Structure 1
Amino acid sequence: MDAPKTYCDYVRDLAPDNLHRVYHDTAYGFPLDDDNELFGRLILEINQAGLSWELMLKKQDNFRRAYAGFDVAAVAAFGEADRARLLADAGIIRNRLKVGAAIHNAGVILGLQEEYGSFKAWLDHHHPLDKPAWTKLFKRHFKFTGGEIVGEFLMSTGYLPGAHVEGCPVYGQVLKAGPAWAQD
């Protein structure tokens, strides 16, 4: 049997309560307006590097708890005790660089919020860019944001197309939600 060509193909025959199916059908590619949720998605994408997305889906509630509900201001204020707590938390990915990136990136987002009003407004201000330009922009501001991480973050939050193929039943729902890429 051939491997699925797209995520849509992969999830098509999965049970409705499968983690991948739920994410595909309810979150992947849908625009996010809340800065904390955007930050949370960025944390998950960064932590997925070198690991499986399924692991991130299984641990997403643990990440939300460990990172103060993805509250940008709270994470930006994390100190050494918080860093040690995160590195000891078996419910998340205990990687020193990824933990440090999350805390650093929260501080960057606070600065972007001051300058642009929100992280989303900063993203909107720079849209549309292609993936290489987005990656360059992210690398200038954030830690642990290579091309795949940036691409998946932006595709999963509606800034780049490709989350769903046109024949996927969810594709139309994503379009109705108004992703940035469809407004170009």
Structure 2
Amino acid sequence: MSWYCDVAPGHPFHGPYHDTEYGVPASDETVLFERLCLEIFQAGLSWLLVLKKREALNAAFAGFNVDRVAAFDAEDRARLLADSGIIRNRLKIDAVIENARRVQALRESHGGFAAWIDAHHPRDLDAWIKLFRKSFKFTGPEVVNEFLMSLGYLPGAHREDCPAYSRILAMNPAWARRL
């Protein structure tokens, strides 16, 4: 098995993400939405490319503020498709905009994105994939797996001997069962 823990140390892009974000629990809607969107943009591409374009993606998508992205219109879509600093895939861009609207709907049905995830936890990967495909756009197996692993809902983000694993456990020992 290949581990991100083996690739990331000392790398200018992978290192900081691995050490401070990957596998770290989050409940902030903007963080969750950004993480989902980054995984969507990564589909079929390298994670390094996404990390390199992360700043431009944040700027182009209003800091991944759900309400602002949900309000994007045809003019915004055209702007995004013309932005050479981001990943310009029409299907992915459309999915991000539509998924912002779906996250807004989760506020009404579940109290928010984090509450929706928690309401369905625990599940195995196949059940998560079915749920995400029903609830969001452009959420195939790899997107769902990496999104949930990046938040500690599925195991495998870090080996037990990885320093990041120890830091995450120190933040909240109850998360040990999720890592």
| TM band (smaller chain) | over 0.9
Residue 46, structure 1, aligned to residue 40, structure 2? yes
Deviation digits for residues 16-54 of structure 1 (CA, Å, limit 9, x no counterpart): xx1111111111000112101100011100000111100
Residue 93, structure 1, aligned to residue 90, structure 2? no
Give structure 2 stretches of 5+ with no counterpart: none
Task: Give the whole-Å Cα distance in 1 for the aligned partners of 2:132 and 2:52.
Answer: 26
- Check the 8 A contact 1:160/1:180 in 2, yes or no: no
Please point out which of 3, 7, 10 is paired with 1:6.
3
For residue 179 of structure 1, report the CA deviation from its aligned partner.
8.2
Task: Give the whole-Å Cα distance in 1 for the aligned partners of 2:37 and 2:19.
Answer: 21
Task: Give the whole-Å Cα distance in 2 for the aligned partners of 1:75 and 1:179.
Answer: 35
Q: Which residue matches 1:26?
A: 20
- Paired-residue identity, %: 57
Closer, same or farther: CA 108–161 of 1 in aligned 2, 3 Å: same
Q: Which residue matches 2:149?
A: 155
Closer, same or farther: CA 23–131 of 1 in aligned 2, 3 Å: same
Closer, same or farther: CA 101–128 of 1 in aligned 2, 3 Å: same
Q: Which residue matches 1:115?
A: 109
For residue 98 of structure 1, report the CA deviation from its aligned partner.
0.2
The residue identity in structure 2 corresponding to 1:143 is: K
Please give the root-mean-square deviation of Cα atoms over the aligned residues, in Å: 1.6
Please point out which of 118, 134, 148 is paired with 1:124.
118
The residue identity in structure 1 corresponding to 2:6 is: D
Task: Give the whole-Å Cα distance in 2 for the aligned partners of 1:107 and 1:156.
Answer: 22
- Check the 8 A contact 2:67/2:100 in 1, yes or no: yes
Please point out which of 47, 52, 56 is paired with 2:50.
56
Q: Which residue matches 1:84?
A: 78
Task: Give the whole-Å Cα distance in 2 for the aligned partners of 1:162 and 1:128.
Answer: 15
For residue 61 of structure 1, report the CA deviation from its aligned partner.
0.9
Deviation digits for residues 44-78 of structure 1 (CA, Å, limit 9, x no counterpart): 00000111100111111111111111100111111
Aligned residue pair count: 178
For residue 181 of structure 1, report the CA deviation from its aligned partner.
5.4
Task: Give the whole-Å Cα distance in 1 for the aligned partners of 2:125 and 2:169.
Answer: 20
Task: Give the whole-Å Cα distance in 1 for the aligned partners of 2:77 and 2:105.
Answer: 21
